[in-house]
Structure 1
């Protein structure tokens, strides 16, 4: 992937070695999720704060895509039972920020789904496929709005 193939202005702001890392991440997403190059790059732009801040709220701004981070997120989803390229691709397409989530946050949220909501097996997997944003929840305002609705359990 060449710098000019990166969407938006990301390529201009990345050093050559970062462009190579970005390209490697894009390849991983394409191979494991069955996405086209443009869709993979668009997902990475959102996952690493280059495009849209609705989810990240300035927590992640214009970071270089990290191959270890992307692989760890996809490995976590695979271990959970979302391993087929069609399933991974659908999840990443609907919630690209998952590629930038820390595994410990996702593990904690899956624990909440299991322990608080009593979801297990296919019900858990299908819930995550249907509402993948739950993997990135950080707050439960319990009705007393904290203004972080995109990362709140109240949306679940």
Structure 2
């Protein structure tokens, strides 16, 4: 179970993953050694999955996000496995979720333009034998994109 200090540590790290242990300890009201012990425990227990830099996708050269919903022809194990294994290998797929409702999967794909997205659809998605329908929605603007989880109320 996470206590108040653990949650505070995780909140601070989500804001600044490069904070030093001493600064982190100061911010949560601990000395450096117990803070480091907690940090190591949070990593070992899987609360902290890794550290990364958040890169501006437009400046990087991939300005377009496309939300792609996919419906399989049927939810047979072979189609599910083929689709999920393929998605894991496609670098342009930033996120993929198995969802409820009228579709089976929802993905966020990044691309540098319509031509490369068309290649992605033609050369990758539609070549999978289990794919029945594909629907694309192009993001016009990002209104909100958070990396930090909200606090748990209660």
Higher relative contact order (CA 8 A, sep 6+): 2
Rg comparison, structure with higher value: 2
Structure with greater helix percent: 1
TM range (shorter): under 0.3
Structure with greater strand percent: 2
